[in-house]
Structure 1
Amino acid sequence: MPVTSAPAPPRVLHVTQPVDGGVARVVADLVRGQLAAGMHVSVACPASGSLPRLLASTGCEVLEWEASRSPGKGVIQEGRRLAGVVARTRPDLIHAHSAKAGLITRLVVRGRVPTVFQPHAWSFEAVRGVPARMALNWERLGARWASRLVCVSRAEQRTGRSRGIEAEWRLVPNGVDLERFHPAAPPDTEPHGSGDGPLVVCVGRLCRQKGQDLLVRAWKDVLRELPRARLVLVGDGPEAERLKAAAPRTVSFAGPVDDPVPWYRAADLVVMPSRWEGMALAPLEAMACGSPVLVTDVAGARESLPPPLARACVVPPEDTAALARALVRLLRDTEGLGALGRAAYRHVHAHHDVRRTAAAVAEVYGELLGPATTADREPITT
C-alpha cells in the first residue's frame, strides 16, 4: 500500500510597519492563531516598538526589518532589505500590514508570491494635497500586485472602491482576544467609577489620527458642567508633549502600558475621537471589558457598535462641541452607561471574537495556497 506524505504546513510571512498600537496587536493575534493552526509563521518588522515583545513568547520567527513609518528616500534601501528577508524565508504567502509595509512588499514581490495587503485605514486619508494624490495613485497601481486586499470594515472597502482602487476584496472585521479582554466581574454586577467623579479613558497612540487634541479641547467644556470629571490618556506618541502643554489639570497621562485592561475596566466611559480609522481596535477591547464607548463617525465605527451605542455614542469627527455635549450627556446618566456597557459586552462576544477573525483570514489564505510550493516559484532576489 503506497504511503503518501502529508502536505507541509504553509509558510506565511507577515510584514509590518508600524510595530505599535492596534496594528501590532492585530498582527500578534493573527500570529498566535496561525501558529496554533500549525502554520509556519515569520514576521518581518523593525526591532523597536511593542510587536517584538508581543511575539517573544509565541515561538514565532521574528526577522528584523529596518523601516521608518513614512515613505521617503529610504524606500529603496528598505526594499532591498525586505527582498533579502523574502529570499531567505521563501514564504508561500506574504501578508503585508498598513501603508508602508504594503508599499515596500508590493514593490519588491510584484505578485511573484501570493500577497495579501491589509491597509488598516487608507494612507491617502492621513494626508492632504499632493501627498494625498500621490498616496491614492500608488494604491491604485499597487492593487495589481495584491492577490487579495483585506479590509476591516465595509466603510474602508467602500472608500477604496469609490476612489478607484480595483482589487479582489475581502472583508474581515477586527476581533479581540476574549480570554484577555473581559470584565473583572460579570458586567451586570461590576461597578464603574468611584466617588472621585466619573472617569473617562482614551487608549491609543498620541498622534493626529487618534484625535486626542480634539478630546483635550472638548474636555475644557466638559469641566464647566462636570468639574469633578477625570480624563486619562493612555499611550505615547509624537503629540505627547504638545498635549501635556494644552491639557487642563484634571487630565492625566498614563504613558505607554503593556496591558490596557485595567484602564478599560476602571473607566466609566472609553472615548476614541479619531480623525480616520479602518476599524479601531481600542473600542472593541473596551467593550469586551464591559465598558461603553464614545467614538467619532469614521470608517468602521458604527459597524463595530451594537445598535444602542450606534444611536447614542457616535459624534461627527473633529467636532469638539458635539464631543463635549455627548460626554456630558453620557456621564450624567450612570444607569444608562451601565446598560450601554452590558450591550457592548454582548455585542463583542457575538461578533468580534478574534478566533472568528483568524478563521476568516485563514479562508483568504486558503483561496490563494494551492498545491504549488515555494520551490516552484520565481525566487525574489536582492
Structure 2
Amino acid sequence: MRPPFTALHVVQPGDGGVARVVADLTGAQLARGLRVAVACPPGTPLAGRVRALGAETYPWRAGRDPGRAVAAEIRRVGELVALVGPDLVHAHSAKAGLAARLAVRGRVPTVYQPHAWSFEAVDGLTGALARRWECRAARWTHRIVCVSEAERRRGERAGVRARWSIVHNGVDVARYASGPGRALARTALGVPARVPLVVCVGRLCRQKGQDTLLAAWPRVASRVPDARLVLVGDGPDAAALRAAAPPSVTLAGPVTDPAPWYRAADLVVQPSRWEGMALAPLEAMATGRPVLLSDVDGARESLPPGQDAYCLVPPGDPTALADALVRLLQRPILRLALGQRAREHMREGFDVRRTGAALAEVYREVAGGGRPDLMREPVAQ
C-alpha cells in the first residue's frame, strides 16, 4: 500500500492566531488521511494541540526574530526534513519561511504562507532587507499562499515574483456558533449582564494596535459611561498597556479558548496596524458578534458585503475608532443584524473545511501529481 501523503508544517509562532490556523489545518488534514508533522516551539499551545489531534510533533526552538541562533534553527529544519521525509514542506510566517527555505532550497516542494508580510512590521534598512529577502526566497518557493487578495497585492508591489494562491483563513463555524449564549457566558466570566462590553482578542503587540484602542477609549467612556473593554491575550506590550489602562479596561491575560469572550461581547474590535487576514474577527463573526476592524489587508474581504460603512475605520486613528465604537454601542438593533449576517457569511465562505479543501488542491498542484488521496473527503470525527 502506498504511504500517505506527508506534510511537514514549520511554524513560528506557537501561539496566537497563526497557531490556531495551523492547528485547525492539521485537524482537517488528518481527517483527510494525510500524515501530518508539525515542527514548532515546544511547550506552546500549538505543540499541545496538534499532539492531541494525533499529529507528529517535533520541537523547533525558534524565536520570532532573526538573531545569532538562526543558523542552528536552519540546521534543525534540515534535520527534521531528513527525519520526516515529507512530500511537501509548509512554512508559516516569516521566521519559519526564512529557516525552511534556506534549509530546503527548493529540493522538496515548498509552500510558504506569510500570514502578513514581515516587511510591514519594520521600517528603514531592516524593512528594505526584509523585502529583499522575500524577493530572493521566492525562487525556492513552489507556491506562496496568501490569506487575502490584498496580502498578495502587497507582496507583488514589494517586488515578490511567485506563483500565488489565495486561501482565506477559516474557522470551525459549527463550534463557534454553538455553546452557551451571551447571558451564560457573562455569568461564567463574571461580567455584569447589562454592561456594554467591547472585547479585543489578540497578541498584545504593536501590530494588533491595542495602544490605539486605549487612546480611543476615554472618548468612548465619555459618551457611553458604563461601557467596559476587555483585552484578551498576552505579549510584549502587556505591561505598558496595563499601566495605561483606566479602571473601565480589563486585561484578561491569555486564554486557551477565546470563544467565551466572543459570546459575552456586544462588539469585538480588532484595531490592527497590519494583517494578512486576522483570525479573531472571523471567530467572533462565527459566534454571531459584529466586529469593528481597521481597514488593513484582509479586513474588507472578511466582512459581509455592505458592512464596510459600519465596521471599518482607518488604522492608527483613535478618534475614528472611538466614534465608530460609540455608534455601534448605541445601536443594539444594528449590532444584532450585523452579527446575524456575519454568522451566515462565515458559514457560507469561511468554514475551516473549505480552507482545508483549498489547501489540499494547492498541495496536489505543487507536489501531488497522481495522489488522489489529497482530494479525499474528510472522515467525520
One-letter amino acid of the structure 2 residue matched with residue 305 of structure 1: L
Partner of 1:105: 100
Instruction: Please give the residue correspondences for 1:245-264 in structure 2 after superposition, counting only pairs within 5 Å.
Output: 245-264=243-262
CA offset at residue 83 of structure 1? Answer: 1.1
Instruction: Please give the residue correspondences for 1:23-62 in structure 2 after superposition, counting only pairs within 5 Å.
Output: 23-62=18-57
Partner of 2:281: 283
Measured in 2, the distance between the counterparts of 1:309 and 1:186 equals 24
Partner of 1:230: 228
Partner of 2:211: 213
Partner of 1:68: 63
2:302 pairs with 301, 304, 322, which one?
A: 304
1:172 partnered with 2:170: no
Partner of 2:318: 320
- Check whether the contact 2:181–2:263 (CA below 8 A) recurs between aligned residues: no
One-letter amino acid of the structure 2 residue matched with residue 336 of structure 1: L
Q: C-alpha deviations, 1:253-286, integer Å up to 9, x for none?
A: 1111111111001100000000000000000000
Partner of 2:143: 148
CA offset at residue 79 of structure 1? Answer: 0.8
Measured in 2, the distance between the counterparts of 1:27 and 1:180 equals 17
Change over 3 Å in CA distance of 1:332–1:362 after alignment to 2:
same
Q: Secondary structure at the match of 1:12?
A: strand
CA offset at residue 319 of structure 1? Answer: 0.4
CA offset at residue 371 of structure 1? Answer: 5.8
Q: Secondary structure at the match of 1:345?
A: helix
Aligned length: 366
CA offset at residue 235 of structure 1? Answer: 0.6
1:265 pairs with 263, 266, 279, which one?
A: 263
1:330 partnered with 2:325: no
Measured in 2, the distance between the counterparts of 1:185 and 1:256 equals 21
Measured in 1, the distance between the counterparts of 2:66 and 2:174 equals 37
Q: Which one is further off, 247-256 or 178-187?
A: 178-187
1:12 partnered with 2:12: no
Partner of 1:378: none
One-letter amino acid of the structure 2 residue matched with residue 358 of structure 1: G
Q: Secondary structure at the match of 2:222?
A: helix
Measured in 1, the distance between the counterparts of 2:50 and 2:368 equals 28
- Give the gaps of 5 or more residues in structure 2: 372-381
One-letter amino acid of the structure 1 residue matched with residue 253 of structure 2: G
Q: Secondary structure at the match of 1:120?
A: coil
Q: Secondary structure at the match of 1:68?
A: coil
Q: Secondary structure at the match of 1:317?
A: coil
Q: C-alpha deviations, 1:129-158, integer Å up to 9, x for none?
A: 111000000000001101000000000000
**Percentage of pairs with the same residue:** 58
1:91 pairs with 64, 80, 86, which one?
A: 86
Measured in 1, the distance between the counterparts of 2:41 and 2:51 equals 14
Q: Secondary structure at the match of 1:209?
A: helix
Q: Secondary structure at the match of 1:9?
A: coil
Measured in 1, the distance between the counterparts of 2:307 and 2:109 equals 39
One-letter amino acid of the structure 1 residue matched with residue 60 of structure 2: W
Q: C-alpha deviations, 1:339-362, integer Å up to 9, x for none?
A: 111111111111100000000000
Q: C-alpha deviations, 1:21-75, integer Å up to 9, x for none?
A: 1100111011111111111110011103210121131111000011111012211
Measured in 2, the distance between the counterparts of 1:372 and 1:135 equals 37
Q: C-alpha deviations, 1:192-235, integer Å up to 9, x for none?
A: x9654210000011111100111011001111111100000011
Measured in 1, the distance between the counterparts of 2:92 and 2:203 equals 17
Measured in 1, the distance between the counterparts of 2:370 and 2:280 equals 39
CA offset at residue 372 of structure 1? Answer: 9.1
Q: Secondary structure at the match of 1:38?
A: coil
Partner of 2:155: 160
CA offset at residue 185 of structure 1? Answer: 6.6
- Check whether the contact 1:183–1:290 (CA below 8 A) recurs between aligned residues: no
Task: From the two aligned structures, give the one with the greater helix fraction.
Answer: 2
One-letter amino acid of the structure 1 residue matched with residue 304 of structure 2: P
- Check whether the contact 1:293–1:309 (CA below 8 A) recurs between aligned residues: no
Over aligned residues, Cα RMSD in angstroms?
Answer: 1.8
One-letter amino acid of the structure 2 residue matched with residue 273 of structure 1: P
CA offset at residue 162 of structure 1? Answer: 1.1
Change over 3 Å in CA distance of 1:185–1:17 after alignment to 2:
closer
One-letter amino acid of the structure 1 residue matched with residue 245 of structure 2: A
What TM-score does the superposition give when structure 2 sets the normalisation length?
0.93
- Give the gaps of 5 or more residues in structure 1: 374-382
CA offset at residue 77 of structure 1? Answer: 1.1
What TM-score does the superposition give when structure 1 sets the normalisation length?
0.93
Q: Secondary structure at the match of 1:141?
A: helix
Q: Secondary structure at the match of 2:316?
A: coil
